[in-house]
Structure formats: C-alpha cells, structure tokens
C-alpha cells in the first residue's frame, strides 16, 4: 500500500486531485481511498488531502501520518507548512516550483528523493489558470509509477467534460517535464 | 451485480436510495451529511427517479414531512447529522409509535457545544430510546447495502418501524472508495413495493397516532417495545435473503478472529476496520485478541453478543459517546447491565475515546488492549484525553 499526502491551498483543488487519483486506481482494478483533511476549509488557507492505493482491500480508516509520497501543489507552501513531516525514509517529495531542486532542498533541509516541475506554467499555458491539481497528477504518476496515464482519462472526462482534453494535455506535459533529483 | 465503481460514500448513499423507488425525500443539509442531501436533490431534480423532494426549513420539518408522507403510504427517506438529529428528537418517537417505516441516514457527528463538526456517536445516543431500529455501517459497501435492506426491513408487516442507519461522518461520508452497486433489476427483485397496513387518504378518513389516556398509554408503549424486540427476527431473515442474493452476509453481531480469543475489542461503526488491523498485529505477536462489532444497536442483539463473547475473559468496549454523570459510555454501561447475571461473564473495560473527530489509530487500539490488561477494576476510563 502506498500513502500520499497532498498539500495545497483551499480552492486549488487538492480534493479533486485525490478524487481523480482514487478513481483512476479503482478504474485500474486496484483498491483506493481518497479523502480530504476533515473539517471546514477556507479559500487560500493551507489544506491537505490524502490517498491510499493498494493491490488488496484497504481496511485502515484512520489518518495518514507517515506518507510514502508528499505532493505540494502550491509553491508558496514550501517553508510555510512542514511539508516533509512524517515522510517515510525512502519516500518521495514532489513539488510544483520555479526554483531549482537545490534551492528546495536547502529551504526544507531535505535530503531524500525529490521531483520538481514548473506545473504553474504548464497549467497557465494549457488551462489558462494557475490551478495545478490535474497537472501535478502527471508528475505523481511519473515519480511513483503507481498508475498508467490512461487510467486518468475516464475520471477526467467524467469530471471535466469537454475540458478533460486540456487537463490531460497538462497532465502529460508534467509527466514529461518533471525533473528527478536523486537523494542528495 | 453492477460494475465496481469509485465513489464518495455520501454520494453512494443517495445513489442507493435512488435504487429503492422512493416516493418522497425531505432532507435539510448539514455537514457532514450535505453531499447526501445535495446529491439526492440532484437525482430527483434531474428526473432520474419519480419522487418528490420536499425542501424544508429545518430538520424538525424534514422528519415531520417524512411522517406525514409515510402515513399516506409513501416510501420515504431522510438524512441528517448531529444538531439536525437533535432537532428531530421530538418527532422521532412519534414516527416509531405510528409505526411509520421511514428510513434515515445519519452522518454521525459530535453535538455542540462547543461546536464540533467531526465524527463521534454523541448525536445518535440521545435518540436511543426513541423506538427506532438503529444500525451502524462499517464501510461504504455496507452503507449501500444497508440502505437498500433498510426499506425492506422497515416496511415488513412484522416490523413496521423506522430505521436509522449510522454512517460515520467524514470517516465514511467523505471517503472515496471502491463500491459495487446492485442493478435496478436486482433491487426490484429484492425490494417489493410498500404495502401499508393503513394509510391516510381523503376518500377514506382515519385517525393515526392521536391521543392516549392513562388507561391505554402504557399498553401502547409496551406494544412498541415488543415490536422493536420482535423486529430482530425479521431483520436477520432479510439479511440472510440479502446474503443469498448478493453474496455479502450481514449479522447483528459481527466477529473477526474472535474464536478462542481471551480478549475482545467491541466497536460500532467505521472504527471496526482499523481495529481489525490492530487484532492482526496483536495476533502476530501471539496475543489471543479478537474483534466483536455491533451492527445492530436497537433492538439490542443480546443472544448474538453472548454467543460472540463466549469464553472471553476481557471485553474492551469502545464508546464514542458519554453519559455525563453516569456509569460510563452508553454501550459499555448497557453491556455491563445486560451481562450482569451471566455466570463467568468477561471483565468489561469501557473506554471513552474518539470524541469529536479525535483519530483512533491501530496503535491506539493496541495501547487500549495493553491498558485493559493492567486495569484492576471495571470503572470506565477516557483514552487519550489530556488532564
């Protein structure tokens, strides 16, 4: 089982990210959970959302405290929220940023596996808005290899209708453009 | 069976209702039930089912509208949570006394004050003595299945009582997970149309649930109590039918690795799945620990509980509510009382935990098993609460 924690800001669609991820995993025949950090959420405030994905039925229903993967949708959260908290040794951090991997490492004092992508630019160019929740799905798929790209097609179409194609394009670009910076 | 799909459980609850050929829904939205209310309103507005959605100004009105509609012979559904359920309180015993088979989904949430929107069972416990059948679902699939089962049980001529299905708020309502839906054809086969014993109609005026003097009120109350006790037989029968048709079995008391266990954890609702992982971990270390889960809270399944805990030495009850100033949590207190006369009954350790959304993890269950071992008496205790 792999556990993912998503960091975003209220209104940036972190909950949609976990929904798409869970639906795609279930579409592939896997077992999955997608859930928000329970509670009232305010636009712009730091928020979290979570995924569990497994090949066998998932029974655990408590929170995620030791994620395998952390995804940061909003660059301004780096250094503001302790995004690496509880990240398992050998875990993966995936950040939407215009900064270099070295700058992120330095800011977070983080030495583990790191993936960076300028998802903000991709989203602006492909979707016309700086909302990176679907774009970052591509980076997560590349970084973790947990699902096939095609598995996202049906959930995106169901959710976004005629906008699905552009979201898929953004997602595929992030898949290609995400940069690995192996453990330092 | 229909296709396996990923869906949020609150949405799934309303999709299950849509399969049940309801006539009327009267629902007032409240967190964390809101997605249930919104989605059911969508389904009816979009014309996917031929039903009336009564928009009401409060939960007192939603349950009153349900009572009225049900008295005309309609199949009726409502859903609520916490303060909404508290606001319904006055009407709940009227619905059961009138023997109206209303089905309600309750997204369990703490009651105010202070305001808290997160999960526990403090909303349902004050409704315990309202004369409703009261059940708890453990996961999304059970929410789907038990919603459909509830209409058949409630409307059965040997039952004719309302049912509240407890669905842990957030822990279940806001979870996207894989689910299997029966097809419409399969539900139609399982769930016949409602045949009311009596119904209100302008062409055939009757009075229902009006007035009792002291010389008959007690008899009416006894009849209601008897009806609720008797309903268990039909509940079990209908669950067996469900198992035959759909392959998933339902029992008043579920067990997990309980055979030969000297210590049993007892839960209600979604906690059971996490507790089962704690059981696996403890068993790996050689401890004879198992799990008992109460699916049915009213009528209380005493015989089934006795069978499930036979031979166990310590029964650890997980209470997600408090009876303030009383003898402990509502579940622990009741089980102690029911087993009082039983020879060789287990020592009962009652923990109050998981209040107002406080997470209960695998490690918490393990810690409570350890604590129960050391505990000398049977007084109730708070777990994980700072002094």
Chain A segment 139-178 residues within 8 A of B by beta carbon are 155
Tell me the average pLDDT across B288-317. 98
Using the structure block, give the residue that is written with the tokens 């249930």. Answer: B36
Residue B319 pLDDT grade (very low, low, confident, very high; cuts 50, 70, 90): very high
| pLDDT higher than 80, residue A133 | yes
Is B270 near chain A, with CB under 8 Å?
A: yes
Peptide bond into B114 cis (omega under 30): yes
Q: Which of B312, B308, B317, B273 lies closest to B289, judged by CA? A: B312
Whole-Å CA distances, A117 to A143, B144, B325: 11, 40, 57
Cβ within 8 Å, pair A62-B276: no
Query: What domains lie within chain A, and their CATH numbers?
Result: 2-181 (3.40.920.10)
pLDDT digits 0-9 by tens, B227-274? 999 999 999 999 999 999 999 999 999 999 999 999 999 999 999 999
Interface test with B, best of A59, A66, A155 (most B CBs within 10 A): A59
3-state DSSP of chain B: CCCEEEEEHHHHHHHHHHCCCCCEEECCCCCCCHHHHHHHHHHHHCCCCCCEEECCCCHHHHHHHHHHHHHCCCCEEEEECHHHHHHHCCCHHHHHHCCCCCEEEEEECCCCCCCCCCCCCCCCHHHHHHCCEEEECCCHHHHHHHHHHHHHHHHCCCCCCCEEEEEECCCCCCCEEEEECCCHHHHHHHCCCCCCCCCCCCCCCCCCCCCCCHHHHHHHHHHHHHHHHHHHHHHHHHHHHHHHHHCCCCCCEEEECCCCCCEEEEECCCHHHHHHHHHHHHHHCCCCEEEEEECEEECCCHHHHHHHHCCCCEEEEEECCCCCCCCCCHHHHHHHHHHCCCCCCCEEEEEECCHHHCCCCHHHHHHHHHHHHHCCCCCCEECCCCC
pLDDT digits 0-9 by tens, A144-171? 999 999 999 999 999 999 999 999 999 9
pLDDT digits 0-9 by tens, B324-364? 999 999 999 999 999 999 999 999 999 999 999 999 999 99
User: How are strands ordered across the β-sheet holding B263-267?
Assistant: B253-256, B289-294, B263-267, B314-319, B347-352, B381-382
Interface test with A, best of B5, B118, B176 (most A CBs within 10 A): B176
Please report, rounded to a whole number, the percentage of residues in chain A having pLDDT higher than 90.
92
- pLDDT score for A42: 83
Interface test with A, best of B5, B6, B117 (most A CBs within 10 A): B6
Cβ within 8 Å, pair A62-B117: no
pLDDT digits 0-9 by tens, A45-90? 999 999 999 999 999 999 999 999 999 999 999 999 999 999 999 9
| pLDDT higher than 90, residue B1 | no
Cβ within 8 Å, pair A59-B360: no
- pLDDT score for B3: 79
Determine the residue of chain B that is closest to A61 in CA distance: B274
The Cα B289–Cα B368 span in angstroms is 12
Cβ within 8 Å, pair A26-B178: yes
pLDDT digits 0-9 by tens, B99-142? 999 999 999 999 999 999 999 999 999 999 999 999 999 999 99
Average confidence score pLDDT of chain B: 97
- pLDDT score for A184: 58
Q: Which residues of A touch B6 (CB under 8 A)?
A: 22-23, 25-27, 32, 34, 155
Pairing of strands B24-26, A113-117: unpaired
Cβ within 8 Å, pair B176-A35: yes
Tell me the average pLDDT across A120-133. 96
Cβ within 8 Å, pair A32-B117: no
Interface test with B, best of A62, A65, A66 (most B CBs within 10 A): A62
Q: Are A93 and A27 in contact (CB under 8 A)?
A: no
- pLDDT score for B71: 98
Q: Which residues of B touch A155 (CB under 8 A)?
A: 6
Shortest Cα–Cα distance, A152 to chain B (Å): 13
| pLDDT higher than 90, residue A183 | no
Cβ within 8 Å, pair A59-B274: yes
Peptide bond into B299 cis (omega under 30): yes
Tell me the average pLDDT across B22-35. 98
Q: Are B314 and B263 in contact (CB under 8 A)?
A: yes
Whole-Å CA distances, B351 to A65, B50, B116, B369: 24, 46, 21, 10
Q: Which residues of A touch B277 (CB under 8 A)?
A: 59-60
Using the structure block, give the residue that is written with the tokens 């296709």. Answer: B3
Using the structure block, give the residue that is written with the tokens 């003595």. Answer: B129
Query: What domains lie within chain B, and their CATH numbers?
Result: 4-246 (3.40.50.970), 253-382 (3.40.50.920)
* Per-residue DSSP letter, A149: G
- Which residue among B31, B176, B273 sits closest to A60, beta carbon to beta carbon? B273
Determine the residue of chain A that is closest to B117 in CA distance: A39
């Amino acid at each position: 089982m792999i556990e993912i924690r998503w960091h975003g800001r209220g209104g940036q669609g972190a909950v949609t990210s976990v929904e798409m991820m869970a639906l795609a995993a279930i579409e592939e025949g896997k077992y999955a959970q997608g859930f928000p950090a329970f509670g009232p959420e305010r636009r712009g405030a730091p928020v979290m959302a979570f995924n569990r994905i497994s090949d066998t039925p998932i029974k655990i229903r408590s929170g995620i405290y030791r994620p395998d993967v952390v995804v940061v949708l909003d660059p301004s959260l780096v250094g503001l929220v302790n995004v690496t908290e509880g990240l398992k040794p050998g875990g993966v951090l995936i950040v939407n940023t215009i900064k270099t991997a070295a700058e992120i490492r330095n800011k977070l004092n983080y030495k583990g596996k790191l993936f960076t992508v300028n998802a903000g630019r991709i989203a602006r160019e492909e979707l016309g808005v700086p909302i990176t929740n679907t774009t970052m799905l591509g980076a997560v798929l590349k970084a973790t290899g947990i699902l096939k790209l095609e598995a996202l097609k049906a959930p995106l179409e169901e959710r976004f209708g005629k906008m699905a194609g552009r979201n898929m394009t953004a997602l595929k670009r992030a898949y290609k453009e995400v940069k690995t910076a192996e453990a330092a | 069976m229909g296709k396996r799909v990923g869906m949020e459980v609150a949405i799934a609850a309303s999709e299950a209702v849509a399969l049940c050929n309801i006539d009327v829904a009267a629902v007032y939205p409240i967190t964390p039930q809101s997605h249930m209310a919104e989605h059911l309103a969508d389904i009816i507005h979009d014309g996917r089912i031929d039903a009336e959605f009564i928009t009401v100004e409060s939960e007192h009105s939603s349950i009153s509208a349900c009572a009225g509609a049900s008295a005309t012979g309609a199949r009726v559904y409502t859903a609520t949570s916490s303060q909404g359920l508290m606001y319904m309180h006055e009407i709940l015993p009227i619905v059961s006394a009138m023997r109206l088979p209303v089905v309600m989904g309750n997204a369990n949430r703490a009651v105010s004050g202070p305001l808290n929107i997160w999960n526990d069972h403090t909303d349902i416990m004050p409704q315990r003595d309202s004369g409703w059948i009261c059940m708890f679902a453990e996961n999304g699939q059970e929410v789907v299945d038990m919603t459909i089962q509830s209409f058949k049980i409630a409307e059965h001529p040997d039952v004719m009582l309302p049912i509240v299905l407890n669905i842990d708020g957030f822990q279940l309502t806001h979870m996207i997970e894989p689910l299997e839906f029966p097809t419409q054809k399969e539900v139609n086969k399982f769930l016949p149309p409602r045949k009311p014993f009596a119904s209100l109609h302008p062409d055939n005026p009757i009075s229902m649930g009006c007035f009792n003097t002291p010389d008959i009120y007690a008899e009416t109350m006894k009849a209601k109590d008897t009806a609720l006790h008797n309903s268990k037989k039909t509940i079990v029968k209908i669950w067996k039918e469900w198992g035959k048709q759909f392959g998933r079995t339902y029992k008043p008391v579920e067990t997990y690795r309980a055979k030969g266990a000297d210590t049993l954890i007892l839960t209600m609702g979604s906690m059971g799945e996490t507790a089962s992982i704690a059981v696996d971990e403890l068993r790996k270390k050689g401890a004879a620990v198992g799990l008992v889960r109460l699916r049915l809270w009213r009528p209380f399944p005493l015989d089934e509980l006795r069978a499930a805990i036979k031979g166990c030495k310590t029964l650890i009850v997980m209470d997600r509510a408090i009876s303030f100033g009383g003898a402990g949590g509502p579940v622990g207190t009741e089980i102690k009382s029911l087993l009082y006369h039983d020879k060789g009954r287990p020592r009962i350790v009652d923990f109050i935990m998981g209040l107002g959304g406080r997470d209960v993890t695998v490690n918490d269950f393990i810690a409570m098993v350890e604590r129960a071992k050391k505990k000398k008496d049977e007084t109730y205790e708070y777990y994980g609460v700072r002094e």
